[in-house]
Every structure is written in structure tokens, then in C-alpha cells.
């Protein structure tokens, strides 16, 4: 293995990525990084890893864990460093130049990954180590493998097997072609969707149409117009179908404009995503067939906690009848609310339409629970939510404390950085908060790592550098950023992912933090949402931004009661999207859909499963379903509901054991958050909960108990 140290270093040493960052925990030197630094660093990183992997493949010594798995885990240090920085910036703060680099490098990076995963020599060595150590036997060099070493060995062997390392050369050649084209197309889908979303922002020239928006929301819309060089106001779009602004806008015609702008993204025009998505689905189906699966969904489920596609479909379809029934009942009430509000903008009788749903629901919720939505936002100021809410919960549960580090460089002026310490005062990592929306950021909310936690033998241990991205409208300078209750919950959700990264305690990068199956990764984040509404925590952060008065107790009770209102709509829209994902990814090899038939395919899929409700469209329609056509959730969007089974059962455990207590957090961190992919996740849950999860808490939470388990 000494050959690794002699790999030629051709990268310009002045490139900020050429050597590990000297900043705390390897934080990228954002003040020095430029777009032109990425392509050379990524290409040199690939070259270095190729040499390192070749040394493993040609090693003359008998295959052992150390000279095979351990060596593979240690390879690609430069590539990982450069890729983490690059892809995070592509998502968070991109421009045409950065996206051009992404388009150029994506096929090369895919080909590089294939070169590793499809190498029969590596696969043979992994198989030899696996066979030699089966049943707990010692390695060929006499070493006893521990549980984590066996886990990372199994992960590498499974990854290569699922990637096609066992195929013949002709099949591998076709697989490389498919992977390369898919890499290009999924990148292009994300680029086109971002452009389509920015282009679909709704321009308003008459202030009267903004009735219902708060002064702060109007100021943000005016600022968005200035940023685009327009007069008046601009309402930018978020990623899902249901736009938050629809709950506030009194002008029905403007609500319709916003809704139609949202639901027609990618549907024709300059940024038509239909040719891309149908090609992506067809290529994924073909690839699944090459790999021995009936379709892409089956291939994905081979590496998940859900046991089968049938189990996933059973869960999704089992909740449909009650969810749709509840949604229809809600629609009757909302129709009455709309009629009571008077005729539409054209003086015609108002009939409930999809763009009316959120507005009417907000009015019903406000009246039934005596809540004023506009009056709630001043109690949820962003900094207070983060520092006295999100961080305070992490302190109470896990003993973590947070010190802001404004002197550390960031990639955008809006980004804030905190150093995170354990209760003994040891630094455990960095947390970056990138909370505001901008045209250079993709829609949605997510967590990612700039640096993964690991403790590889023979290499300096690394602590995590994690980032949370939200898309809160940026207020005008000098004004506070105020959140809706949904945005508060999102902040807690994404920090649940951050905790999964920050509290990771493993040796091998391949098993670190959130590198777990998709249908488990949402579990810790969904659990963390519950603390947003914890009665012990709310008084600390939910205080009026001007007066400092806490949210009144009566309002707290009304808010908590109102959180369960509208579950028919919420469950139906998300399950409809999950079923769409499955429909596209259960296409058999050779099946295809023409671009002009995307809407018909979608409609048929929704009708087939009983979720074709005009008033409740899917949370994402196909043309802007970024999670599955550009993100990492293809055939895996079901994971939010699958994880919610674990989440609801765990929340019940916390409630039974006293809630926001350090002892409870210690148990959850020990058995779940710190373990990454080092253990069987079903076993990890049983170790934490003392039994397998029950589905009843989920059904009760979503008002679906009548469906049974």
C-alpha cells in the first residue's frame, strides 16, 4: 500500500482544495474558493483515487479486511473533499458557471464511480474476505473483525453487487452507458426545474391584489421584484404544489395565478421537463432489468428497511380510503366557508377550487381555534426559533451547546456558522445555517455534510461539518425574519438530520451519520419535529418580536389543537405523490411513456389508486418532482411515511418517559443517532424501543385509525 503515498500530485498547490483545510474541522475555505478551482480538483481527485483503487486491486497479498476494505475506505480523500464542497454549492448557491461545471463533470464522475463499483478484481477480493470471515471466523491475517468492520465489509460487497460488478462485460458496458446518460439527465432536470421555478414567479402590479399579506410579506415581495429589475411585487414559488402564500391571499384571481404557475412548471415551454423525466424513468427501468430486478422500485427496495415493494404499496394503499374520505369531508366544510365569504372576483357564485383550499382552511382554522395566522408570525422570529428553540432542545436532550463563529468564512453573507460542543466542552463539529431563499438556491429544505464524521485507523479523525438549508423569504434589511408554524416545524425537522450527522460516532465514512437507507434517514428528523411544540420549550422561543411577551397559553393550546386539523388533505397530497413515484419507477424494462402523455400517465396512476382528487393535487406533480427525478429519492419518496411509523412510535416513547429529558436523549443518541449504518437498523430500533414499531400511533396522529393496522 506504500504506492498510495507516491501518487503524482499534479493539482496546483495554490488551489484551496489541494490540501485539507486548516479551518476548524476542515470547513472549506469559502473565502478563497472560486468556480475555476473545482474541475481541476475533482479531476485530480478521481485520478488519485483510481491509483489508490488500482493498488488495492493488484495487491499481491491475500485479501484481508485491512488491505481491501480498509484501503478502499481510506481512498479518495481529495475527491471527497472537493465533491462535498462542489455539490453543496450547486444546491445552495449556484450560477450559470457552476452549473456548467456540473454538466461537464457529471458524466466523468459517474464513469469514475462505475470504474470502482464494476471492477471485478475488487469484487473478487471483497467476496474472498467475506467468505473467509463468514460465521465469525478470523480474517486471513488472523484478525478478529468487530461488528462495525463486518458491517462495512457487507456494505461494500452489497454496493458492488447491486452496481453490477458480477455482470458480464457486455452488460457492464451498457450499464456504464446508462449511468452516464442518467447522470447527465438528472443534472439537467434539476437545472431546468430551478429555471422553470424562477421563471414562474408571479409578478403583481396592483397592490390591492396583495390583500391578506402582512406588511413584512409585502416588503419581501417588493424586494423580490427589485432583485429581478421589475416594478411592483413578485411572489416566488417554493418547490411543492401548495404554495404557502395561498393561505393568505384574499384576491381569488391572484390565488389562481399562483396555483397555476406552481402546477404548470416544466409542462411545456422553454423549460419543459417532460422529455427528461420520461427518459430518466425508462433508463432506470432498463438498468434495473440488467441488474436482475423487475423494475427500478424493486432494485431500490433491495437496499432498504422496507422488506419489499409489496410492503410499501400495502402501507400506501392502506391509508388512502380514510385519507381521501377525510379530505372530502374537509372539502365540504371549506366549500361552505368559501360561499360564506361571498362571490368570487367576477361576482359569480364561488365554487371551491384547488387554489381556494389553503385560504379557506386558514379561515376555518382561525375561527375554530380562535387563531390569527398573521398574528402568530411575530412570535416566531427566526433567530429565536433557532437559538432558543432548536438549539435549546438539543441542549436539553443531548447536552450540546452552540457558539456562533462569525469570523469563519461562508459562501454567502446570509450563512451563519456555529461551533457545537458536547457537555464536557469538547468540540464535536460545525453547524451552518443557510435559512433564506434566493434564486441561486434550489427549492425545498435539506441537510447535507461538507465534512463527514469518521475515525479511520491511521488517519486523523474528522468531526462533521453539516449544513441546514431552508427557503424562508428574506425580509428587507433591518426587519426581522418571521416564520409560519410550518416553517418552524421545518427548522426542527432539518436539524434532526443535522443531529444525525453531528452525533455520529463511527470509524468508517461509508457508515457515517445519515448514510443509512432512505426509508430510515427521515426517522430522526421527523422525531425532532415534536419538540417544536413542546410546552416546556415554547415559552423560551415563541415570544413576540416587539414586546417580548410569550405566546399566550390559550393560543398555544389552540395552535396545538389546530395542528391536527386538515390531516385528510395533508395525507392525501403526500400519499398521492408517493404513489406517483412508485408508478414511474414500477415501469418494466422496455416500457416507456411519451412526453406528451405525462399528464395522462399521471392521471391514470392517481385514478388507479383512488387519489385522483381535483381539489387535492399531489404534493409534487411529475414535472417538478425534484426528489425523484434529480434528488436521491427515486422509488423512495414513500420513506417519509415509512419513517413516520417509527417516528410516531418513538414520540409515544418519549411521552411515556417524560419528554425533553437528558436521559431520553442519551438513549436515542446511543442506539440510533450515533450508530449510522454500523448496525442492522431494525435491531437498532428494537434496542432503543424494546420491541418492533407499532403502526397505531401513526394512524392516530393522521386521523386514520379506522383503517386498522
The residues annotated as belonging to the active site are: 494
Helix (H) or strand (E) holding 643: helix 639-656
Taking alpha carbons only, the member of 335, 342, 340 closest to residue 361 is: 335
Tell me 108's DSSP state.
H
Q: Please state, in angstroms and rounded to a whole number, the distance separating the CA atoms of residues 663 and 668.
A: 9
Q: Is 566 left (phi over 0), alpha (psi -120 to 50) or beta?
A: left
- 3-state secondary structure at position 454: strand
CA 193/CA 199 separation, integer angstroms? 10
Long-range contacts of 537-540 (CB under 8 A, 24+ apart): 537/389, 537/392, 537/393, 537/396, 537/660, 540/388, 540/389, 540/392
Q: Are strands 465-472 and 427-436 parallel, antiparallel or unpaired?
A: parallel
Task: Spell out the residues 6+ positions from residue 478 whose beta carbon is closer than 8 angstroms to its own.
Answer: none
Helices marked H in 442-517: 485-502
The answer to whether 72 and 35 are in contact (CB under 8 A) is no
570 Cβ partners below 8 Å, 6+ apart? 702
Question: From CA 113, how far away is CA 176, in angstroms rounded?
Answer: 10
Rounded Cα–Cα distance for residues 178 and 185 (Å): 10
CB-based burial label for 292 (10 Å; 0-12, 13-18, 19+): middle
Q: What is the CB neighbour count within 10 angstroms for residue 480?
A: 16
Q: Which residues contact 677 (CB under 8 A, 6 or more apart)?
A: 151, 155, 506, 510, 511, 512, 515, 516
Integer Cα distance of 538 and 549 in angstroms: 12
Coarse DSSP helix, strand, coil percentages of the chain, rounded to the nearest 5 percent: 60, 5, 35
Q: How far apart are CA 208 and CA 215, in angstroms?
A: 13
At residue 631, φ and ψ (nearest 5 deg) are -85, -165
How many Å apart are CA 708 and CA 705, to the nearest integer? 6
Secondary structure of 274-336 in HEC code, one letter for each residue: HHHHHHHHHHHHHHHHHCCCCCHHHHHHCCCCCCCHHHHHHHHHHHHHHHHHHHHHHHHHHHH
How far is it, in rounded angstroms, from Cα 52 to Cα 71?
A: 8
Nearest Cα to Cα of residue 132 among 124, 120, 140, 141: 140
Amino acid at each position: 500500500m506504500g504506492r498510495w503515498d507516491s501518487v503524482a500530485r499534479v493539482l496546483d498547490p495554490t488551489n484551496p482544495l489541494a490540501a485539507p483545510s486548516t479551518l476548524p474541522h476542515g470547513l472549506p475555505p469559502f473565502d478563497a474558493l472560486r468556480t475555476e478551482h473545482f474541475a481541476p480538483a475533482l479531476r485530480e481527485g478521481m485520478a488519485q483515487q483510481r491509483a489508490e483503487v488500482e493498488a488495492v486491486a493488484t495487491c499481491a497479498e491475500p485479501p484481508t479486511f485491512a488491505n481491501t476494505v480498509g484501503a478502499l475506505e481510506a481512498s479518495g480523500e481529495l475527491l471527497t473533499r472537493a465533491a462535498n464542497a462542489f455539490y453543496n454549492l450547486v444546491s445552495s448557491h449556484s450560477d450559470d458557471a457552476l452549473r456548467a461545471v456540473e454538466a461537464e463533470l457529471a458524466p466523468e464522475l459517474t464513469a469514475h464511480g462505475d470504474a470502482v463499483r464494476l471492477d471485478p478484481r475488487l469484487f473478487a477480493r471483497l467476496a474472498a474476505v467475506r467468505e473467509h470471515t463468514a460465521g465469525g471466523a478470523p480474517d486471513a491475517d488472523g484478525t478478529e473483525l468487530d461488528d462495525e468492520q463486518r458491517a462495512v465489509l457487507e456494505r461494500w460487497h452489497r454496493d458492488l453487487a447491486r452496481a453490477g460488478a458480477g455482470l458480464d462485460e457486455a452488460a457492464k458496458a451498457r450499464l456504464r452507458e446508462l449511468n452516464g446518460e442518467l447522470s447527465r439527465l438528472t443534472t439537467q432536470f434539476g437545472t431546468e426545474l430551478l429555471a422553470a421555478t424562477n421563471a414562474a414567479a408571479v409578478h403583481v402590479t396592483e397592490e390591492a391584489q396583495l390583500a391578506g399579506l402582512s406588511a413584512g410579506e409585502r416588503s419581501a415581495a417588493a424586494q423580490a421584484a427589485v432583485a429581478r429589475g421589475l416594478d411592483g411585487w413578485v411572489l416566488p414559488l417554493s418547490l411543492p404544489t401548495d404554495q404557502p402564500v395561498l393561505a393568505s391571499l384574499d384576491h381569488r384571481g391572484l390565488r389562481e395565478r399562483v396555483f397555476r404557475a406552481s402546477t404548470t412548471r416544466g409542462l411545456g415551454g422553454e423549460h419543459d421537463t417532460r422529455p427528461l423525466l420520461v427518459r430518466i424513468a425508462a433508463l432506470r427501468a432498463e438498468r434495473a432489468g440488467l441488474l436482475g430486478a423487475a423494475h427500478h422500485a424493486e432494485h431500490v427496495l433491495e437496499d432498504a428497511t422496507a422488506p419489499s415493494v409489496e410492503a410499501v404499496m400495502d402501507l400506501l394503499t392502506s391509508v388512502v380510503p380514510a385519507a381521501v374520505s377525510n379530505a372530502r369531508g374537509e372539502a365540504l366544510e371549506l366549500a361552505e366557508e368559501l360561499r360564506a365569504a361571498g362571490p368570487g372576483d367576477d361576482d359569480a357564485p364561488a365554487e371551491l377550487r384547488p387554489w381556494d383550499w389553503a385560504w379557506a382552511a386558514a379561515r376555518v382554522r382561525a375561527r375554530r381555534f380562535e387563531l390569527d395566522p398573521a398574528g402568530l408570525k411575530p412570535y416566531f422570529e427566526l433567530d429565536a426559533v433557532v437559538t432558543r428553540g432548536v438549539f435549546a432542545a438539543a441542549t436539553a436532550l443531548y447536552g450540546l451547546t452552540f457558539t456562533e463563529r462569525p469570523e469563519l468564512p461562508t459562501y454567502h453573507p446570509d450563512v451563519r456558522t456555529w461551533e457545537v460542543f458536547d457537555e464536557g466542552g469538547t468540540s464535536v463539529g460545525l453547524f451552518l445555517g443557510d435559512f433564506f431563499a434566493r434564486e441561486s438556491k434550489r427549492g425545498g429544505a435539506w441537510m447535507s455534510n461538507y465534512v463527514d464524521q469518521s475515525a479511520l485507523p491511521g488517519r486523523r479523525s474528522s468531526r462533521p461539518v453539516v449544513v441546514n438549508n431552508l427557503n424562508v423569504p428574506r425580509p428587507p434589511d433591518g426587519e426581522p425574519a418571521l416564520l409560519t408554524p410550518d416553517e418552524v416545524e421545518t427548522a426542527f425537522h432539518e436539524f434532526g438530520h443535522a443531529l444525525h450527522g453531528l452525533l455520529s460516532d463511527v470509524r468508517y465514512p461509508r457508515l457515517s451519520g445519515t448514510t443509512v437507507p432512505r426509508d430510515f434517514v427521515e426517522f430522526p428528523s421527523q422525531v425532532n419535529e415534536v419538540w417544536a411544540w413542546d410546552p416546556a420549550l415554547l415559552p423560551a422561543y415563541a415570544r413576540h418580536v416587539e414586546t417580548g411577551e410569550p405566546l399566550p397559553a390559550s393560543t398555544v393550546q389552540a395552535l396545538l389543537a389546530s395542528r391536527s386539523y386538515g390531516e385528510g388533505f395533508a395525507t392525501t397530497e403526500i400519499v398521492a405523490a408517493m404513489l406517483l413515484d412508485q408508478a414511474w419507477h414500477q415501469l418494466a424494462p422496455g416500457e416507456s411513456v411519451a412526453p406528451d402523455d405525462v399528464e395522462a400517465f399521471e392521471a391514470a396512476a392517481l385514478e388507479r389508486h383512488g387519489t385522483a382528487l381535483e381539489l387535492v393535487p399531489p404534493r409534487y406533480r411529475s414535472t417538478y418532482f425534484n426528489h425523484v427525478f434529480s434528488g436521491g429519492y427515486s422509488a423512495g419518496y414513500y420513506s417519509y411515511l415509512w419513517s413516520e411509523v417509527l417516528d410516531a412510535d418513538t414520540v409515544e416513547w418519549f411521552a411515556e418517559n417524560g419528554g425533553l429529558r437528558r436521559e431520553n436523549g442519551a438513549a436515542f443518541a446511543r442506539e440510533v443517532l450515533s450508530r449510522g449504518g454500523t448496525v442492522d437498523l431494525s435491531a437498532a430500533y428494537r434496542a432503543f424501543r424494546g420491541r418492533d414499531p407499532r403502526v397505531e400511533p401513526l394512524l392516530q396522529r393522521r386521523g386514520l385509525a379506522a383503517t386498522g393496522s
